[in-house]
Structure 1
Amino acid sequence: MIDQNRLLQKAAQLSLDHVPVQALDQYAQLLVEYNQKVNLTAITDPEGIEDKHFIDSLLFAAQPEVCGKVVDVGTGAGFPGVVAKLYKPELELTLMEPTGKRVEFLRYVCAELGIQAEFAKERAEEAARKIWREQFDVATARAVANLSMLAEYCLPLVKVGGWFIALKGAGAMDEVQGAQGAVKKLGGEFVKSKDFVLPDGSLRSLLFYKKISQTPSVYPRNGGKIAKAPLK
């Protein structure tokens, strides 16, 4: 499916080592086959999968802050969470996804790849009112919403001292500026940004937020309020 040598070369250029290319190749095949019956991704060509899904997710996984209990919010087809688990098998991974058909795929692909994970068929704003509130060392999300909304989805799931790491494209620092007030209300603090150029030339920023205090009980609000009136 994918070109394993090409993926290794791309990974090496970004200082990514011990990349599990055989498992990723199997993942790509399962993704493309399943995508024919359930809409999981618009990216189905081998090089697109390598760049947009795998390298992107590996850059997240390789960060030293990514450890312990990790929740991937709105994970869709498993990016970056499943790739992170393949890269760091010691992670305790929770895949949070509200769409039942996608959760079925996640269960299937994890079983095929020999991955242990928890599957939470939940919206993040509802999950944070249940057993998952402030339970994770790391919460991450990719291409789910703008940063103010994303912070309200993710920070309530993170324990004090943990990290919210957002995967963003071009214009990430503009979003950081716009989300400052929201992040502060939710108990977070912006620490740093790491910027990369993916092999296809597109930009990727990893935004790191430290959870410095408990999220007030009024957050997260319901999904409609989060979307209509993002925190400022």
Structure 2
Amino acid sequence: MLNSIKQEIKLLVGETSFSQLERYVNLIEEKNKVMNLTGFSGEKLWKEGILESILTLNFVQKWTKKKENFSLVDIGSGVGFPSIPYLIFNPNIDLTIVESLQKRCDFLKLVANELGLKFNLVCDRMENVDQKFDILTARAVSSLDKLIKLTKKNLTSSSIVAFIKGPKIFDEIKAVEKENFIIEKVNEIESKNVYVVFNKKPLI
């Protein structure tokens, strides 16, 4: 199963990017032993960490019709999901990662240095970030209503939120003005239900 997942990723991203993804996974597994960074390992790391990250953010980019050099913020990224795998796949984005846990920030700095990746790393809580972004994303960070309140100051009139959720989103959406949002299923992920919540109109 693991080999078939790797083969799917290789076909999707190409040899060069796949080689970088392998180095990234090796760094996660090596440092996770001593730093306790993530619960992902082995097949789950490749499938849910790498493949799902790429498929989901690729879906987001296509849905938003953003081309190149758009600014993307990944809130509470942990070891870099979903943004680092996607940055390896598509380096033509202006990526900012916001991560409050110092040991994960230290790891992300290591990833940037070892893989030669260019992204902005903010070692702080999103509450303290005032910068505006084209696309704001978060995966498994907080409830939808809290994410909306948290990111309101980071929106322009054309900003798009793209929060990655599981099936519980249909309960979470009840706590917000749901007519402002649209829920899209990431059909490229067949093994489970992954959804992205987009804003249908400006949230400011």
What is the TM-score normalised by the length of structure 1? 0.75
What is the SS of the residue equivalent to 2:106? Answer: helix
Aligned to 1:69: 71
What pairs up with 1:1-232 in 2 under 5 angstroms? 3=3, 6-9=5-8, 17-18=12-13, 20-45=17-42, 47-63=43-59, 64=62, 65=64, 68-128=70-130, 132=131, 135-180=132-177, 189-196=180-187, 198=189, 201-210=191-200, 212-214=202-204
Distance 1:206 1:32, change over 3 A: same
What is the SS of the residue equivalent to 1:136? Answer: coil
Aligned to 1:224: none
Please report how far the alpha carbon of residue 11 of structure 1 lies from its aligned counterpart in structure 2 after TM superposition: 7.9
| Rounded Cα–Cα distance in structure 1 between residues aligned with 2:117 and 2:141 | 24
- Amino acid of the residue matched to residue 9 of structure 1? E
Between Structure 1 and Structure 2, the one with more strand by share is 1
Work out whether residues 166 and 194 of structure 2, in 8 Å CA contact, stay in contact via their aligned partners in 1.
Answer: yes
Work out whether residues 138 and 163 of structure 2, in 8 Å CA contact, stay in contact via their aligned partners in 1.
Answer: yes
What is the SS of the residue equivalent to 2:159? Answer: strand
Tell me the alpha carbon deviations over residues 53-80 of structure 1, each in whole angstroms, 9 at most, x when there is no partner.
1122112221322650011001110001
| Rounded Cα–Cα distance in structure 2 between residues aligned with 1:211 and 1:97 | 27
Structure 1 unpaired stretches of 5+: 215-232
| Rounded Cα–Cα distance in structure 2 between residues aligned with 1:154 and 1:51 | 29
Runs in 1 of length 4+ with deviation above 3 angstroms? 195-199
Q: What count of residue pairs does the alignment treat as equivalent? A: 195
Structure 2 unpaired stretches of 5+: none
Work out whether residues 54 and 86 of structure 2, in 8 Å CA contact, stay in contact via their aligned partners in 1.
Answer: yes
| Rounded Cα–Cα distance in structure 1 between residues aligned with 2:188 and 2:56 | 13
Work out whether residues 5 and 47 of structure 2, in 8 Å CA contact, stay in contact via their aligned partners in 1.
Answer: no
Distance 1:191 1:139, change over 3 A: same
- Amino acid of the residue matched to residue 6 of structure 1? I
Please report how far the alpha carbon of residue 197 of structure 1 lies from its aligned counterpart in structure 2 after TM superposition: 7.0
Q: Supply the RMSD in Å over aligned alpha carbons.
A: 2.3
| Rounded Cα–Cα distance in structure 1 between residues aligned with 2:20 and 2:127 | 32
Between Structure 1 and Structure 2, the one with more helix by share is 2
Aligned-residue identity in percent: 26
| Rounded Cα–Cα distance in structure 2 between residues aligned with 1:196 and 1:178 | 25
Distance 1:10 1:118, change over 3 A: closer
Please report how far the alpha carbon of residue 168 of structure 1 lies from its aligned counterpart in structure 2 after TM superposition: 0.7
Please report how far the alpha carbon of residue 158 of structure 1 lies from its aligned counterpart in structure 2 after TM superposition: 2.6
| Rounded Cα–Cα distance in structure 2 between residues aligned with 1:40 and 1:117 | 20
Tell me the alpha carbon deviations over residues 129-173 of structure 1, each in whole angstroms, 9 at most, x when there is no partner.
xxx1xx100110010111111222234323221211011112322
Distance 1:10 1:81, change over 3 A: closer
Please report how far the alpha carbon of residue 213 of structure 1 lies from its aligned counterpart in structure 2 after TM superposition: 4.7
Distance 1:154 1:11, change over 3 A: farther
What is the SS of the residue equivalent to 1:165? Answer: strand
